[in-house]
Structure 1
Amino acid sequence: MTDALSNPDESADDNPCPAAFDVPEQPAWAPEDIDPRIPSVARVYDYVVGGVHNFAVDRDIADRAASMWPEVPLILRENRAVLRRFVRFLAGEGIRQFLDIGSGIPTAGNVHEVLAVPAPDAKVVYVDIDPVAVMHSQAILDGNPNALAVHGDFTEIDAVLSDPAVNRMIDFTQPVAVLLAALLHFILDDADPAGSLARIRARMAPGSYLALTHFSDEGPPDKVAQFVDMSRETPNPLTLRSKQQIAAFLDGLQAVTPGLVYLPLWRPDSPDDVDENPERFSSFAGIGYRGR
């Protein structure tokens, strides 16, 4: 789900809410250098979608967000559903290489799991900066020759694209699908997301796809402001953008029907799945295609 997440090198004095929680006993699944008092976007997402790899501080911020804006958990869950629809569509288009940047903590419906039926031979690389997400991805993928997880940062995209492990799995001379689900709204404008995307496009062979979802600024102004303020308790505050700004991230690519739309409207599995008020999701989904 996100790329730039918790920073294990931060001291307790830098913790945005150092007194809120006592330091709990470190669970077996957590790396020793993770501070359980600092919330992580990946672990908040994990909690909302029903995972177990989260701390009290993560659950607290998720519960407060849901109390303030009840649609937030629904938005996060629909984002995961859209990712699954992305993957099924791309597999149907013949894509057999997937680079999932900001993949987050593995939960049900991982990319390689979705591909198991339509494209069991597909190659998948998960990239995330959160050590918990990477560790659990590696544990799940142990023994899987077609998928791997690496530590990487979207804001240092050249290092990701040149990573030897990534290049052993992904042949950039052939079509690839780059997935950026719920990532770019955690990338500050100062970090030049457009520049990173330009370098990704430059590596994509003709016939490749770039898929993204992005939280927008179209929600109720008071709730949006509170939500952004709450995100500042994490190491990675939100940067919400307009639909026009989000669409610009797909510049240089051909829009795949239905274009950039609210999450539930992107190729729903059934008309019955379309929410009667899709704009309440305040998030957009879209795919761009690099023509041959």
Structure 2
Amino acid sequence: MPDPTSQDPVVAPGVDATKPSVARVYDAFLGGKDNYECDRAVVRQILEIAPELPDWTRENRRWLARVVEWLTREARLTQFLDLGSGLPTAQNTHQLAQQINPAAKVVYVDNDPAVIAHGRALLLDNDNTFFVPADFTEPEKLLADPIVTGNLDPGRPIGMIQALVLHHLEDYDQTRELVRTYVEALPSGSFLAISHACNPRDGSEAARLSTDLEAKFHERFPSLRFRTPAEITAFFDGLELLDPGVVRLYDWWPPGVVLEESPAAGLRAGAGQILYCGLARKP
């Protein structure tokens, strides 16, 4: 975690350093430096409820690595669309894919001003990495953007990543429709990867912890909605869900990999259920 007394980074144009942002709070959880005191204050409040959250954010990056590496190596995908990509950190999608296939193309999408500033910097030394400063909740507009149409071949499979973004959309039915719109636009053989905050809402310890976390997050991010495993699974309707299905981040490993014990075995029962994920193929 960054030292709260350390000097804040230079404020980029358009960035409000007095109000926390989702991307910067996530960066702070990862131990990054592209965040401000207002973001770190949110992190400290959340850690009082769930001190394991930094472990989960790092596991989300490791899950992303497992997904992108499998898609590039085994599924032989050569193009990716990363929606709500967040601030660059270690092991970004383009680095993961291009270390296996240097010709792989990656288009990042985000509308956070801090992410836009950093995202554009990715273009300086990488001819196969692109950034679109756009709102991913406007799929028709985004998919028609010249950066997308000019760099992603609609005739070949695409790996679409929606990592920890859908739970920032309040209305469940509208969120399902958004995902459906994107899936319909994907060519056959494409893949959809999702990670999402989970609340089983079954009276369990996990449900109580998730409910407490939602309440705390709502103080700053009122649209955030944790969802049940069944609700998260429904985002993959019409797709071929790969094994092991929709599971905890720690329990998702590429097809054919069998773990004798979950890496989350040492976590508290409730804390082990906070984030779920899945990967599915479009027939």
Under a length normalisation based on structure 1, what TM-score does the superposition of the two structures give? 0.85
CA distance in 2, matches of 1:164, 1:154: 15
Alignment of 1:66 with 2:58, yes or no, is no
Alpha-carbon contact 1:71-1:281 (below 8 Å) kept? no
Post-superposition shift, 1:222? 3.7
* Residue of structure 2 in register with 1:32 after alignment: 13
Listed as ranges, the matches of 1:100-115 within 5 Å are 100-115=82-97
CA distance in 1, matches of 2:258, 2:18: 42
Post-superposition shift, 1:190? 6.1
CA distance in 2, matches of 1:157, 1:211: 17
Post-superposition shift, 1:106? 0.3
Post-superposition shift, 1:153? 1.4
* Residue of structure 1 in register with 2:161 after alignment: 179
C-alpha distance 67-270 of structure 1, shift in aligned 2 (>3 A): farther
Q: State, as a whole percentage, how many aligned pairs show the same letter.
A: 33
Name the SS for the 1:65 alignment partner: helix
Residue of structure 2 aligned with 1:229, choices 185, 208, 215: 215
* Residue of structure 2 in register with 1:169 after alignment: 151
Alignment of 1:250 with 2:236, yes or no, is yes
Aligned partner letter, 1:274: P
Listed as ranges, the matches of 1:59-98 within 5 Å are 59-92=40-73, 93-98=75-80
CA distance in 1, matches of 2:167, 2:157: 26
Alpha-carbon contact 1:173-1:204 (below 8 Å) kept? no
Alignment of 1:145 with 2:123, yes or no, is no
Residue of structure 2 aligned with 1:264, choices 229, 236, 250: 250
Post-superposition shift, 1:234? 2.8
Residue of structure 2 aligned with 1:283, choices 260, 268, 275: 275
Alpha-carbon contact 1:161-1:167 (below 8 Å) kept? yes
Name the SS for the 2:101 alignment partner: coil
Listed as ranges, the matches of 1:113-128 within 5 Å are 113-128=95-110
Runs of 4+ residues deviating >4 angstroms: 268-273
Report which structure shows greater RCO (CA 8 Å, sep ≥6). Answer: 1
Alignment of 1:154 with 2:136, yes or no, is yes
1:149-175 deviation per Cα after TM superposition (whole angstroms, max 9, x unaligned): 111112111111111111111112210
CA distance in 1, matches of 2:222, 2:108: 20
C-alpha distance 220-266 of structure 1, shift in aligned 2 (>3 A): closer
CA distance in 2, matches of 1:69, 1:27: 27
1:117-146 deviation per Cα after TM superposition (whole angstroms, max 9, x unaligned): 211110000001101112102113313110
Post-superposition shift, 1:273? 7.1
Alignment of 1:189 with 2:178, yes or no, is no
Name the SS for the 2:19 alignment partner: coil
CA distance in 2, matches of 1:250, 1:146: 28
Alpha-carbon contact 1:96-1:119 (below 8 Å) kept? yes
Name the SS for the 1:124 alignment partner: strand
Aligned partner letter, 1:34: V
| Structure 2: 5+ residue stretches without partners | 1-6
55-64 vs 135-144, which moves further = 135-144
1:44-88 deviation per Cα after TM superposition (whole angstroms, max 9, x unaligned): 111111211000010111121012111222111111110111100
Give the number of equivalent residue pairs.
267
Q: CA RMSD in A?
A: 2.2
* Residue of structure 2 in register with 1:51 after alignment: 32
Alpha-carbon contact 1:26-1:32 (below 8 Å) kept? no
1:76-126 deviation per Cα after TM superposition (whole angstroms, max 9, x unaligned): 111111011110011021100000001000001101111232111100000
C-alpha distance 181-190 of structure 1, shift in aligned 2 (>3 A): closer
CA distance in 1, matches of 2:139, 2:221: 19
CA distance in 1, matches of 2:178, 2:164: 16
| Structure 1: 5+ residue stretches without partners | 1-24
CA distance in 1, matches of 2:167, 2:52: 17
